[in-house]
Structure 1
Amino acid sequence: MLTRSLAVIGAGAAALLASHAFAAAPRPVVVELFTSQGCSSCPPADRYLSELSDTRSDVLPLAFHVTYWNQLGWKDPFSFEAADARQAQYARRFRDFPYTPEMVIDGKAEVVGSNRAAARTAIEDAKSTAATAAMVDAIRDGSNVSVSIGSGRGRAHVLLVGYDTRHVTPVGRGENSGETLTESNIVRSFTSIGEWAGAPLQLRTNAITGEHMAVLLEASDGAIVGAARVIDRQQAPAP
């Protein structure tokens, strides 16, 4: 999951990436939902995240399935320890404790994921106040991902996220026993691929697990300051 090959991409690949750039489009608000199939309070939040995925291109919803519900009768097949670690970072930042369903908006605000009114308010607040340190564009070409980050101010970790569009899971045990859960934008892998320090940066890395991918810029305080969905080269518009 974490194995990768990272290199500066050549001028030809950079030109290809630039030709398909979506620089005119504002970056999406990143919504991270920490959830579990073993949590009876989570399905309403999962449904809301699915609606965001289906209806809002200005939002990048990502579902991180945590592992700490697994010992209570049902092992979530999409849970992984990196999700726990990411939520623990947010818990320290917000001086809170990990819980499900927790929704974190742009790395700066957290709400109960099933509270649609609070989530909508936080998303709209993020849209109106979000800082974008630099534009990000990314294209997948087979097993490779080319990332282009523009110039700007500040520093940020460059994160690559792999996620699946949708899964339907019959749950056989635990708090949701007998339920069939439909869940969207399920994160399958998550890794750092570089550091951005204000100057234009071009990276080339291996694709990671997941039907789709996204690139995030995360500032040192945890705020998301850049984001883009990875576009498949076959689906990219002509230059």
Structure 2
Amino acid sequence: MSKVFTSGRRAMLIGAAAAVATNLSREVAARPAAEGPWAVELFTSQGCSSCPPADMHLGRLARRPDIVALAFHVDYWDYIGWRDPFASRETTERQRAYARTLKQRYVYTPEMVVDGIGHDTGRDPAPIEALLSRAQARATRRATPDLSRALGGPLSIRLDAYPLDGRIADVTLAIYDRRHTTPVRSGENQGRMLENFNTVRHIELVDRWDGTARSWSVPGERIGPTQGMAVLVQETDHGPMIGCNKLEPAYSG
């Protein structure tokens, strides 16, 4: 397990070639689920030799309809010989925010944060399934956003009224690439062909929510034709998830 202290090293991002899966045929509406879905956020780096097993695990979780699986590539390992083309300071800061909320001594890769309540490396499925079971047990009701989008049009987000009891929740949009294959030419993974899934390319706070019925619209030009969209609803400042959902292109063949 690679790790770095929260006050530690930083590096800069540089681009590299990557291929996005094609054969997109249409958009589909995301159907709210009464008992989920549940969020799994992987903090990973192509410069980390411990990360590929967790990357593949996330790829398997991404196929599950009850999981919103997102990969956030961090930039603090770029200095060791390979600059991750998908890393950004924003994703690194999201991991550091979770470290503060979850009272971690340091950030590390790979790290899977499950529904904002706990974390593990993600290389072994068993601890992640245990955290998912814990998330399911604590939730009597989810604020699952209803997502819909016509092909090429704006993304519509709708939330029914939810009893936040005076608390505030963050409504966050993540836009992600479904799959990338990257030949790594240097660093700890030199010579490997890495597979990455649901790689977040853009994340933004849509609004802060007080629990009243609301709807939002995100312009379609912000979203690429092959990209997936996820909306996370969680207690403010990276607290536990209240609800989440995803909307992904459907593939032909």
TM range (shorter): 0.7 to 0.9
Partner of 2:214: 201
Aligned 8 A contact 2:33 2:144 in 1: no
Indicate the larger mover: 66-75 or 111-120: 111-120
Give the deviation of 1:131 after TM superposition: 5.2
Aligned 8 A contact 1:36 1:69 in 2: yes
RMSD: 2.0
Q: Which runs of structure 2 are paired with 1:55-70 in the superposition (5 Å)? A: 56-70=64-78
Give the deviation of 1:230 after TM superposition: 2.7
Match of 1:148 among 147, 150, 158: 158
Partner of 2:170: 157
Give the deviation of 1:209 after TM superposition: 4.7
- Rounded to whole Å, the distance in 1 between the matches of 2:146 and 2:186 is 42
Cα distance change, pair 132–225 in 1 and its aligned pair in 2 (3 A): farther
What amino acid does structure 2 have at the position aligned with 1:213? M
What amino acid does structure 1 have at the position aligned with 2:110? P
TM-score, with structure 2 as normaliser: 0.79
Q: Does 1:228 align with 2:238?
A: no
SS at match of 2:92: helix
Give the deviation of 1:93 after TM superposition: 1.1
Indicate the larger mover: 21-30 or 73-82: 21-30
Aligned 8 A contact 1:137 1:230 in 2: no
- Rounded to whole Å, the distance in 1 between the matches of 2:55 and 2:35 is 25
Q: Does 1:137 align with 2:150?
A: no
Give the deviation of 1:25 after TM superposition: 4.4
Give the deviation of 1:231 after TM superposition: 5.9
Give the deviation of 1:21 after TM superposition: 7.1
Give the deviation of 1:201 after TM superposition: 0.2
Q: Does 1:215 align with 2:228?
A: no
Q: Does 1:171 align with 2:184?
A: yes
SS at match of 2:208: strand
SS at match of 2:108: coil
Match of 1:29 among 30, 38, 56: 38
Higher helix share: 1
Give the deviation of 1:200 after TM superposition: 0.2
Q: Does 1:114 align with 2:140?
A: no
- Rounded to whole Å, the distance in 2 between the matches of 1:226 and 1:41 is 30
Give the deviation of 1:179 after TM superposition: 0.4
What amino acid does structure 2 have at the position aligned with 1:151? A
- Cα deviation digits, residues 84-128 of structure 1 (max 9, x gap): 010000111122111100110000111122132211211222223
What is the aligned residue count? 214
Cα distance change, pair 223–202 in 1 and its aligned pair in 2 (3 A): same
Identity %: 40
Q: Which runs of 5+ in 1 are unaligned?
A: 1-19
